[in-house]
Amino acid sequence: MNSIKRFRFALILIPLAIFISFLDKKILSGFLETNQIPDHYLFIGSLVVVISVLILAVLRFDKNVNS
């Protein structure tokens, strides 16, 4: 149980790495080459959502550590 608490912060980074890998594959396959506005909104929107979730997870982790 103690090792899980120690590596909890690293567990936050695993989904982030999976998301970055997925997004990289989509972009390299030509996702944004069409210059369609909805594709760009989808890209920016997904980045905003993932970064927001990551910030909330880090803040919650920091709050639990300081308590």
Whether the per-residue pLDDT at 11 is higher than 80: the answer is no
Q: Which letter, b or e, does each residue of 27-61 get, where b requires 16 or more Cβ atoms within 10 Å of its Cβ?
A: eeeeeeeeeeeeeeeeeeeeeeeeeeeeeebeeee
> Residue 2 in contact with residue 44, Cβ under 8 Å?
no
> Residue 12 in contact with residue 4, Cβ under 8 Å?
no
What's residue 67's pLDDT? 67
More confident residue, 31 or 38: 38
Q: pLDDT tens digit string along 40-57?
A: 898 899 899 988 988 888
What's residue 17's pLDDT? 87
